[in-house]
């Protein structure tokens, strides 16, 4: 299998070449259907067993593991900050629709988002500082998909026991459960399913439950489930699974004595692809590079470069590239972002 890993570093603004990879871990599909004819909502998130929980996580390439958050982060719903009761963790706005675990910042949706006045997708946003030896900021966004459903259309979703595998924590497999709804009725029979990994035509299973283990996931994989009624395809649902047990990460080790460019000094980094769980270097890797200025415009024909020997790259970012004038806006390039693409 050929795998690709992408990492980047900004010269003049970096701290020891660390990269934080942010992700959300979820236990249920963030989907609700609303039937405007009956007012029914499915799944009903006022029922504890149906309530989805979203847990923010940040992985440090330098540390080689997930890192702890610093204090409590900020959750926002459709652009408005969610405030929480400090004793109960229940949101004091949005009619108490959210509950937070202050120790992990995991957010549980405890009320229905779909309604007669809300039949569009919603957006949850999270941001916090993380302890990777510094106080680095990282966060992300996740959509709550809300669909209008009638009495007859079919909608399939997949609930996961977890979306992240981690051998260190003893999580070597997960269970994906296919659910098919007709309108707001959850069907217990009368349909069949086929499971696939994106990019492959191999059917992974035909039962409503699919076990996904580490052998099926390289870092991150997209899977999907097809739902059939009387042999006719009615719905498709896509979902991502992560393996944080031993993913490959690009790390940057400062080679030059300086980490900022100057008229007399360029900056050099060693570039390595390593297994994050063990720190072991993957030498059977090839690297490519691209360079961007402080406005995220590609630098074409610059003097910065990447050479490779025995699986280790040497990245050189030049002062000349930072001083060069961008032909698009007439400004100097400024800080240079070097993006490295590793294949192994």
Q: Sorting pLDDT into bands at 50, 70 and 90, what band is 135?
A: confident
CATH 2.60.40 in the chain, residue ranges: 248-343
Chain position carrying tokens 């929480």: 84
Q: Sorting pLDDT into bands at 50, 70 and 90, what band is 289?
A: very high
Helices (H), ranges, the chain: 319-323
C-alpha distances (whole Å) from 196 to each of 127, 218, 224 are: 33, 15, 5
Token pair for 151: 């009495």
Share of the chain above pLDDT 70, in %: 91
Candidates 204, 208, 214; CA nearest to 171 is: 214
Q: Is the peptide bond before 172 cis (omega within 30 degrees of 0)?
A: no
The pLDDT score that the predictor gives to residue 13 is 36
C-alpha distances (whole Å) from 235 to each of 55, 129, 169 are: 28, 39, 34
Q: What residues contact residue 64 under an 8 Å CB cut-off, 6+ apart?
A: 249, 274, 276, 277, 278, 279
Mean pLDDT, rounded, for 138-166: 85
The pLDDT score that the predictor gives to residue 21 is 80
Q: Which residue has the higher pLDDT, 264 or 276?
A: 264
Least confident segment among 1-5, 38-42, 89-93, 138-142? 1-5
**For residues 54 and 26, is the Cβ–Cβ distance under 8 A?**
yes
The pLDDT score that the predictor gives to residue 9 is 63
Candidates 70, 79, 73, 34; CA nearest to 54 is: 73
Q: Which residue has the higher pLDDT, 111 or 135?
A: 111
- Average pLDDT over the chain reads 87
Q: Sorting pLDDT into bands at 50, 70 and 90, what band is 110?
A: very high
**For residues 160 and 171, is the Cβ–Cβ distance under 8 A?**
no
For domain 248-343, give the fold: Immunoglobulin-like (2.60.40)
Mean pLDDT, rounded, for 302-329: 91
**For residues 2 and 232, is the Cβ–Cβ distance under 8 A?**
no
């Amino acid at each position: 299998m050929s795998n690709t890993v992408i990492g980047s570093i900004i010269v003049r603004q970096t701290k020891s070449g660390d990269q934080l990879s942010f992700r959300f871990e979820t236990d249920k599909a963030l989907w609700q259907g609303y039937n405007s004819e009956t007012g029914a909502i499915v799944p009903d998130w006022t029922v504890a067993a149906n309530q989805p929980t979203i847990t923010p996580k940040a992985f440090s390439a330098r540390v080689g593991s997930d890192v702890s958050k610093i204090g409590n982060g900020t959750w926002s719903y459709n652009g408005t900050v969610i405030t929480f009761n400090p004793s109960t963790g229940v949101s004091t706005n949005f009619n108490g629709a959210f509950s937070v675990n202050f120790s992990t910042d995991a957010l549980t949706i405890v009320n229905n988002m779909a309604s007669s006045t809300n039949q569009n997708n919603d957006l949850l946003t999270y941001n916090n500082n993380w302890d990777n030896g510094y106080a680095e900021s990282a966060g992300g966004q996740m959509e709550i998909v809300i669909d209008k459903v009638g009495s007859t259309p079919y909608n399939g979703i997949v609930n996961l026991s977890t979306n992240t595998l981690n051998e260190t924590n003893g999580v070597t497999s997960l269970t994906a459960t296919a659910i098919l709804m007709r309108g707001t009725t959850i069907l217990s029979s009368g349909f069949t399913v086929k499971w696939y990994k994106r990019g492959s035509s191999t059917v992974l299973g035909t039962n409503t439950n699919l076990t996904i283990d580490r052998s099926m996931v390289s870092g991150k994989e997209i899977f999907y489930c097809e739902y059939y009624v009387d042999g006719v395809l009615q719905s498709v649902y896509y979902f991502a699974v992560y393996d944080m047990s031993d993913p490959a990460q690009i790390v940057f080790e400062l080679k030059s004595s300086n980490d900022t460019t100057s008229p007399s000094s360029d900056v050099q980094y060693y570039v390595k692809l390593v297994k994050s769980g063990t720190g072991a270097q993957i030498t059977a890797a090839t690297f490519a590079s691209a360079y961007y200025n402080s406005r995220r415009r590609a630098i074409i024909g610059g003097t910065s470069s990447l050479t490779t020997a025995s699986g280790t790259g040497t990245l050189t970012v030049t002062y000349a590239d930072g001083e060069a004038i961008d032909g698009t806006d007439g400004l100097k390039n400024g800080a240079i972002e070097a993006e490295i693409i590793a294949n192994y």
